[in-house]
Copies of this chain bind each other. A is one copy, B any other.
Amino acid sequence: MGTPKRKGGTTRSSLIYDTLRQDLVNGRFKAGEKVAISALKEHYEVGLSPLREALNRLAAYGLLIQENQRGFRVPGLNREELDDIAEMRRELEVMALKRAIERGNAEWESELLAAAHRLRRADETSQPVEEWEQLHGKFHRTLLAPCGSAWLLRFIEQLYDQFDRYRRLAPPAPQMREHLNRQHDQLVTLALAGKVTEAQELMEDHIHRSYLVALGACQ
Protein backbone atom coordinates (compact mmCIF):
# COMPACT_ATOMS: atom_id res chain seq x y z
CA MET A 1 0.00 0.00 0.00
CA GLY A 2 0.95 3.63 0.29
CA THR A 3 3.08 2.64 3.26
CA PRO A 4 6.11 4.91 3.75
CA LYS A 5 8.13 1.77 3.15
CA ARG A 6 10.04 4.05 0.76
CA LYS A 7 13.64 2.95 0.81
CA GLY A 8 15.92 5.93 0.82
CA GLY A 9 18.65 3.66 -0.44
CA THR A 10 21.25 5.11 1.87
CA THR A 11 24.32 3.54 3.33
CA ARG A 12 26.43 4.02 6.41
CA SER A 13 29.30 4.99 4.17
CA SER A 14 27.31 7.82 2.58
CA LEU A 15 25.85 8.99 5.86
CA ILE A 16 29.22 9.34 7.50
CA TYR A 17 30.55 10.95 4.33
CA ASP A 18 27.91 13.67 4.46
CA THR A 19 28.41 14.22 8.17
CA LEU A 20 32.18 14.45 7.89
CA ARG A 21 31.98 16.75 4.90
CA GLN A 22 29.78 19.11 6.87
CA ASP A 23 32.02 18.95 9.89
CA LEU A 24 35.14 19.53 7.85
CA VAL A 25 33.66 22.54 6.09
CA ASN A 26 32.48 23.83 9.44
CA GLY A 27 35.97 23.66 10.81
CA ARG A 28 35.16 21.15 13.53
CA PHE A 29 38.58 19.63 12.99
CA LYS A 30 41.73 21.54 13.56
CA ALA A 31 43.45 22.43 10.30
CA GLY A 32 46.60 20.46 9.65
CA GLU A 33 45.67 17.92 12.28
CA LYS A 34 46.03 14.22 11.76
CA VAL A 35 42.70 12.37 11.64
CA ALA A 36 42.43 9.84 14.47
CA ILE A 37 40.46 7.14 12.74
CA SER A 38 39.58 5.13 15.82
CA ALA A 39 38.44 8.28 17.61
CA LEU A 40 36.11 9.10 14.72
CA LYS A 41 34.86 5.55 14.86
CA GLU A 42 33.87 6.03 18.48
CA HIS A 43 32.56 9.54 18.07
CA TYR A 44 30.31 8.85 15.11
CA GLU A 45 29.51 5.31 16.24
CA VAL A 46 30.33 3.79 12.91
CA GLY A 47 32.29 0.78 11.77
CA LEU A 48 35.77 0.93 10.35
CA SER A 49 34.89 -0.10 6.81
CA PRO A 50 32.26 2.54 6.03
CA LEU A 51 34.36 5.14 7.80
CA ARG A 52 37.43 4.39 5.72
CA GLU A 53 35.40 4.44 2.53
CA ALA A 54 34.08 7.88 3.45
CA LEU A 55 37.59 9.12 4.24
CA ASN A 56 38.80 7.88 0.88
CA ARG A 57 36.03 9.76 -0.88
CA LEU A 58 36.73 12.92 1.08
CA ALA A 59 40.40 12.73 0.16
CA ALA A 60 39.54 12.39 -3.52
CA TYR A 61 37.21 15.35 -3.11
CA GLY A 62 39.92 17.46 -1.55
CA LEU A 63 38.66 17.88 2.00
CA LEU A 64 41.30 15.51 3.36
CA ILE A 65 44.85 14.64 2.49
CA GLN A 66 45.67 10.98 2.23
CA GLU A 67 49.17 9.74 2.91
CA ASN A 68 49.90 6.12 2.27
CA GLN A 69 50.54 4.10 5.40
CA ARG A 70 49.98 7.09 7.61
CA GLY A 71 46.33 7.81 7.29
CA PHE A 72 44.55 11.09 6.69
CA ARG A 73 45.22 14.70 7.60
CA VAL A 74 43.05 17.80 7.59
CA PRO A 75 44.46 20.28 5.06
CA GLY A 76 46.07 23.36 6.56
CA LEU A 77 44.77 26.87 6.09
CA ASN A 78 47.10 29.27 4.39
CA ARG A 79 46.77 32.40 2.42
CA GLU A 80 48.18 31.14 -0.85
CA GLU A 81 45.73 28.27 -0.93
CA LEU A 82 42.85 30.64 -0.17
CA ASP A 83 44.02 32.97 -2.94
CA ASP A 84 43.97 30.07 -5.36
CA ILE A 85 40.55 28.89 -4.26
CA ALA A 86 39.02 32.36 -4.41
CA GLU A 87 40.57 33.13 -7.77
CA MET A 88 39.31 29.88 -9.28
CA ARG A 89 35.90 30.38 -7.73
CA ARG A 90 35.76 33.79 -9.33
CA GLU A 91 36.76 32.52 -12.75
CA LEU A 92 34.40 29.59 -12.75
CA GLU A 93 31.37 31.23 -11.18
CA VAL A 94 31.61 34.21 -13.51
CA MET A 95 31.73 31.78 -16.40
CA ALA A 96 28.78 29.82 -15.10
CA LEU A 97 26.71 32.91 -14.37
CA LYS A 98 26.85 34.07 -17.98
CA ARG A 99 25.67 30.72 -19.22
CA ALA A 100 23.00 30.41 -16.54
CA ILE A 101 21.48 33.78 -17.41
CA GLU A 102 21.50 32.91 -21.09
CA ARG A 103 19.94 29.50 -20.58
CA GLY A 104 17.74 29.87 -17.51
CA ASN A 105 14.02 29.45 -18.14
CA ALA A 106 10.90 30.66 -16.35
CA GLU A 107 10.96 27.83 -13.86
CA TRP A 108 14.49 28.83 -12.90
CA GLU A 109 13.42 32.43 -12.38
CA SER A 110 10.79 31.34 -9.88
CA GLU A 111 13.16 29.09 -8.01
CA LEU A 112 15.80 31.78 -7.90
CA LEU A 113 13.37 34.30 -6.47
CA ALA A 114 12.21 31.74 -3.92
CA ALA A 115 15.76 30.84 -2.87
CA ALA A 116 16.69 34.51 -2.50
CA HIS A 117 13.58 35.15 -0.48
CA ARG A 118 14.20 32.26 1.88
CA LEU A 119 17.77 33.42 2.37
CA ARG A 120 16.70 36.99 3.09
CA ARG A 121 14.07 35.83 5.57
CA ALA A 122 16.52 33.55 7.37
CA ASP A 123 18.78 36.52 7.75
CA GLU A 124 16.13 38.94 8.98
CA THR A 125 14.72 36.52 11.53
CA SER A 126 18.23 35.54 12.63
CA GLN A 127 17.83 31.83 12.23
CA PRO A 128 20.52 29.50 13.55
CA VAL A 129 23.67 29.87 11.54
CA GLU A 130 23.56 26.37 10.11
CA GLU A 131 20.13 27.10 8.69
CA TRP A 132 21.44 30.24 7.02
CA GLU A 133 24.49 28.45 5.62
CA GLN A 134 22.24 25.83 4.09
CA LEU A 135 20.07 28.43 2.38
CA HIS A 136 23.10 30.43 1.28
CA GLY A 137 24.60 27.44 -0.46
CA LYS A 138 21.26 26.61 -1.97
CA PHE A 139 20.94 30.16 -3.35
CA HIS A 140 24.30 30.09 -5.06
CA ARG A 141 23.65 26.65 -6.50
CA THR A 142 20.25 27.71 -7.80
CA LEU A 143 21.72 30.82 -9.39
CA LEU A 144 24.19 28.83 -11.47
CA ALA A 145 22.22 25.61 -11.92
CA PRO A 146 21.05 26.14 -15.52
CA CYS A 147 24.55 26.88 -16.83
CA GLY A 148 24.40 23.64 -18.77
CA SER A 149 27.71 22.15 -17.68
CA ALA A 150 27.68 19.36 -15.12
CA TRP A 151 31.46 19.54 -14.81
CA LEU A 152 31.51 23.25 -14.25
CA LEU A 153 28.92 22.89 -11.47
CA ARG A 154 30.88 20.07 -9.96
CA PHE A 155 34.08 22.10 -9.77
CA ILE A 156 32.24 25.12 -8.40
CA GLU A 157 30.65 23.03 -5.66
CA GLN A 158 34.06 21.70 -4.70
CA LEU A 159 35.57 25.19 -4.57
CA TYR A 160 32.60 26.50 -2.63
CA ASP A 161 33.24 23.90 0.07
CA GLN A 162 36.93 24.72 0.14
CA PHE A 163 36.22 28.40 0.35
CA ASP A 164 33.71 27.92 3.15
CA ARG A 165 36.29 26.17 5.31
CA TYR A 166 37.99 29.54 5.51
CA ARG A 167 34.96 31.81 5.61
CA ARG A 168 33.20 29.95 8.41
CA LEU A 169 36.30 30.10 10.51
CA ALA A 170 36.87 33.80 9.96
CA PRO A 171 35.75 36.32 12.58
CA PRO A 172 32.31 37.83 11.90
CA ALA A 173 32.20 41.04 9.89
CA PRO A 174 28.60 42.25 10.30
CA GLN A 175 28.90 45.28 8.08
CA MET A 176 30.41 43.38 5.20
CA ARG A 177 27.95 40.61 5.77
CA GLU A 178 25.09 43.01 5.34
CA HIS A 179 26.58 44.29 2.11
CA LEU A 180 27.03 40.74 0.85
CA ASN A 181 23.41 40.00 1.66
CA ARG A 182 22.23 42.97 -0.36
CA GLN A 183 24.32 41.73 -3.27
CA HIS A 184 22.35 38.50 -3.32
CA ASP A 185 19.19 40.39 -4.17
CA GLN A 186 21.00 42.54 -6.68
CA LEU A 187 22.32 39.42 -8.34
CA VAL A 188 18.77 38.16 -8.73
CA THR A 189 17.62 41.44 -10.21
CA LEU A 190 20.43 41.59 -12.75
CA ALA A 191 20.10 37.91 -13.63
CA LEU A 192 16.37 38.14 -14.24
CA ALA A 193 16.89 41.28 -16.31
CA GLY A 194 19.38 39.41 -18.47
CA LYS A 195 22.17 41.88 -17.75
CA VAL A 196 25.04 39.49 -18.15
CA THR A 197 28.02 41.82 -17.89
CA GLU A 198 26.70 43.72 -14.90
CA ALA A 199 25.77 40.51 -13.14
CA GLN A 200 29.25 39.15 -13.79
CA GLU A 201 30.86 42.27 -12.38
CA LEU A 202 28.68 42.05 -9.32
CA MET A 203 29.59 38.42 -8.87
CA GLU A 204 33.28 39.27 -9.05
CA ASP A 205 32.79 41.87 -6.41
CA HIS A 206 30.71 39.52 -4.29
CA ILE A 207 33.37 36.85 -4.31
CA HIS A 208 36.12 39.38 -3.72
CA ARG A 209 34.37 40.74 -0.63
CA SER A 210 33.77 37.24 0.66
CA TYR A 211 37.45 36.63 0.10
CA LEU A 212 38.34 39.65 2.22
CA VAL A 213 36.19 38.23 5.00
CA ALA A 214 37.64 34.75 4.61
CA LEU A 215 41.16 36.14 4.85
CA GLY A 216 40.44 36.59 8.54
CA ALA A 217 40.83 32.85 8.97
CA CYS A 218 44.45 32.91 7.87
CA GLN A 219 46.07 34.70 10.77
Question: Measuring CB to CB, which residues of chain A are less than 8 angstroms from any residue of chain B?
Answer: 9-11, 13-14, 49, 52-54, 56-62, 67-70, 81, 84-85, 87-88, 91, 95, 148-152, 154-155, 159, 162
In the bound assembly, the distance between CA atoms of A22 and B85 in angstroms comes to 28
B68–A14 CB distance below 8 A: yes
Nearest B residue (CB) for A148: B84
State which of B56, B59, B151 has its C-beta within 8 Å of the C-beta of A84.
Answer: B151
Q: Are A11 and B88 CB-contacts (below 8 A) given A57-B60, A61-B60?
A: no
A150–B84 CB distance below 8 A: yes
Give the 10 A-B CB pairs with smallest separation, nearest first: A60-B60, A57-B60, A53-B56, A56-B56, A11-B68, A9-B68, A88-B151, A56-B57, A84-B149, A60-B61
B56–A149 CB distance below 8 A: no
Nearest B residue (CB) for A58: B60
B residues in contact with A60, CB < 8 Å: 56-58, 60-61
Would you give 30 A-B contacts (Cβ < 8 Å), ordered by A?
A9-B67, A9-B68, A9-B69, A9-B70, A11-B68, A13-B56, A14-B68, A49-B49, A49-B52, A52-B53, A53-B53, A54-B56, A56-B57, A56-B60, A57-B59, A57-B60, A58-B60, A60-B60, A60-B61, A62-B154, A84-B148, A84-B151, A87-B149, A88-B149, A88-B152, A88-B155, A91-B95, A151-B159, A151-B162, A155-B155
Please indicate which of the listed interface residues A68, A85, A154 has the most CB atoms of chain B within 10 Å of its own CB: A68
B residues in contact with A148, CB < 8 Å: 84
B residues in contact with A95, CB < 8 Å: 91
A18 to B: closest C-beta gap in Å: 12
B residues in contact with A67, CB < 8 Å: 9
